[in-house]
A and B are shown apart, each in its own frame.
Chain A
């Protein structure tokens, strides 16, 4: 419980200099937006053919369909950058909310099995119906994520000691292994159908699923808005169920709302980019280092930092082993897994 105590200490110190902190945090947001914009431009500029930033800017402001460079930017690179921004923001916010509500520093849609559930549901739907209309894709993923979330929670709840970080993580890892094996079996049984899914299942932004983007983006933005609305109550809930109830928060209802929010965020991300592990773990922890424990700030900062982070990771994934491209999900795991290990170590000492 040391992290909890330090959070409380942090929140009391922020209360002392509340107005100053408020000002500093408000000023920080435009700075982060600026950083995000720079990363966005850079992400579009690099690639097999690197383009100068001025061309990128021109293509975005004054699109000229006769120029080949503009076409590359509009049709290939811009959708990928937008997907990176949306998915990075969604996963980070989902991770932040989960960590707040379960008071579990290891909570994250990937570790707790939600991503495996969403992927499994999509794979099964495609296996059974051959093609799934794009409009339904996020909802199929959401259904899978929801069921998995409930199952993982129940397994952890029934274990001796209840839903602790340990039991939740173990249950999530077990369910992920199970669903992963089933996905592999499905892949072997029906290779033609699933060959197209192989890249997606490794967690990749290279699919450029523009059709999915137009379907998932509105829901994703709606869920991000809901997360902002809920953030004040999540701050209270992070102090403990009893405290929250004493302060007049309907904890059960709030948890249902947060679960819905997390499920929609995860499902839209998985539909867009496949399972990208550890993003939701890394970003909220980094944000909390600077911002403290007030979720009204953690949520927007997580969204901005997460978006910039995923853009950066995707740039590395495209550049590191040129001309090959590493799946983005591999890169996020390589960055995130050491942090997971660090958190386990820190929590134990």
Chain B
């Protein structure tokens, strides 16, 4: 530990009346991640079919009109898109962290347990059946769809002995397969042009994101973040198991439902904005935990930063790697996420047997 930064600094007042354990490594990491995210966003603004230098991007962002074209490219296309990617990553990562906490299952992820698919089905149904109303109703419909699916899975995986977390995952796989089939059937039924727009959206694509999406995800982030912060204290008690949490004075069942609602809400809004992005909620909380040990609050901050970084990077890779062809970010996150999932599967304890 001499060369590596230790996880905590313990500070004591003279006489040891008061001591404080400062999670210095996590704090440094948060700072580093913030800087990295900032630079990634800056870099991603320069990359694309219209080449720009970093200085030009900064000038344009600060309001100087370097050239009319640059203003359009940055303000109308690249900047909102990058912002949406960062917001969506944050929301999915936090949703995954909350779900993993509630289910006490390291493999939980909104896309694995069918929540994203529920939002997907609801939005596709809206797009295909009532195309005129789609944009305003989208977040609400997505939220309703995911909530129904979450309740369904929770109900199905509950039996007299209580819910088993691993059954929750298997059930999610089954429900996700069922819902995907219905979604595909809807798209066969719908008109081809509507189906095509739904199809692009279904592979988790940030291509079309504009300022209206930015407004939507930002507002909902502001709504859903405070409850999550309030719940984070109980989350650390819940981590030790339900009976311990109850012993510590946590109303476990209330907290559980509140956390699931927040997790579903975050995932649903993210899905409504850009379509289902898999595995982000799985990777980010684990990465945050491996990189630095800290309390729940700081862990959530790190998770959010990593989620934003991962999705921004996925979007950048997807549009830059095979330009001019754009690979939806959802495919990139799946290709990155599955190996991580398999790695985590190897490390999950045998206690999670069926």
Taking a contact as CB atoms under 8 Å apart, the answer to whether A277 and B177 are in contact is yes
Does B350 sit at the interface, judged by CB under 8 A?
A: yes
Q: Which has the most chain B C-beta neighbours within 10 Å: A174, A340, A348?
A: A174
A54-62, A164-172, A212-220, A257-265: which one contacts chain B? A164-172
Task: Knowing that A188-B327, A341-B156 touch, tell me 11 more A-B residue pairs with CB under 8 angstroms.
Answer: A159-B348, A171-B345, A181-B334, A188-B322, A321-B189, A333-B177, A344-B354, A345-B157, A345-B167, A347-B354, A349-B161
Contact at B354–A164, with CB atoms within 8 Å?
A: yes
Q: Interface on A for B, CB 8 Å cutoff?
A: 106, 155, 158-161, 164-167, 169-171, 173-175, 177-178, 180-182, 184-185, 188-189, 202, 277-278, 321, 324-327, 330-331, 333-334, 336-338, 340-341, 344-345, 347-349
Q: Given A189-B322, A338-B178, A341-B175, does the pair A321, B345 have CB atoms closer than 8 Å?
A: no
From A181, A189, A337, A349, contact of B174 by CB (8 A): A337
Chain A residues, CB < 8 A from B174: 337-338, 340-341, 344
**Total residues of chain B contacting the partner, CB 8 A:** 49
Asked if A169 and B177 make an inter-chain contact with CB atoms under 8 angstroms apart, the answer reads no
CB-contact partner of A185 in B167, B175, B331, B352, under 8 A: B331
Contact of A341 (CB < 8 Å), options: B160, B171, B180, B354: B171
Q: Given that A165-B354, A166-B353 are known contacts, is A202 also in contact with B167, CB under 8 Å in the complex?
A: no
Q: Is the CB of A174 within 8 A of B325?
A: no
> With a CB–CB cut-off of 8 A, which chain B residues contact A341?
156, 171, 174-175, 178
Q: How far is the CA of A182 from the CA of B175 in the complex (A)?
A: 23
Distance, CA A202 to CA B170, complexed state (A): 23
Of A106, A326, A348, the contact of B159 (CB 8 Å cutoff): A348
Instruction: List B residues 175-214 near A (Cβ within 8 Å).
Output: 175, 177-178, 180-182, 184-185, 188-189, 203
Q: How far is the CB of B318 from chain A (nearest CB, A)?
A: 9
Interface residues of B (CB under 8 A from A): 107, 112, 156-157, 159-161, 164, 166-167, 169-171, 173-175, 177-178, 180-182, 184-185, 188-189, 203, 278, 322, 325-328, 330-331, 334-335, 338-339, 341-342, 345-350, 352-354
Q: Are B173 and A166 in contact (CB under 8 A)?
A: no
Contact of A334 among B107, B169, B175, B178 (CB under 8 A): B178
Task: Give the one of A167, A175, A341 with max B CB within 10 A.
Answer: A341
Q: What are the residues of chain A within 8 A of B175 when measuring CB–CB? A: 337, 341
CB distance from B176 to the nearest CB of A (A): 9
* Beta-carbon contact of B170 and A337 below 8 Å: no
The 8 closest A-B pairs by CB, nearest first: A337-B178, A333-B181, A181-B334, A178-B338, A161-B350, A341-B174, A160-B350, A340-B174
Docked complex Cα distance between A347 and B180 (Å): 24
Are A344 and B171 in contact, CB atoms less than 8 angstroms apart?
A: yes
Minimum CB–CB distance for B279 against chain A, Å:
8
* Chain B, residue nearest A340 (CB): B174
Q: Give the residues in chain B near A180, CB-CB below 8 Å.
A: 334
> In the assembled complex, which residues on chain A have CB atoms less than 8 Å from the CB atom of B339?
178
With known contacts A166-B353, A181-B335, A330-B181, A344–B167 Cβ distance under 8 A: yes
Contact A321 B188 (CB under 8 A): yes
What are the residues of chain B within 8 A of A326 when measuring CB–CB? 185, 188-189
- In whole angstroms, what is the CA distance A158 to B346 when docked? 6
Contacts of A345 in B (CB 8 A): 156-157, 159, 167, 171
A337-B178, A340-B177, A348-B354 given as contacts; is B170 within 8 A of A166 (CB)? yes
- Of B112, B167, B181, most buried by chain A (CB within 10 Å of CB) is B181
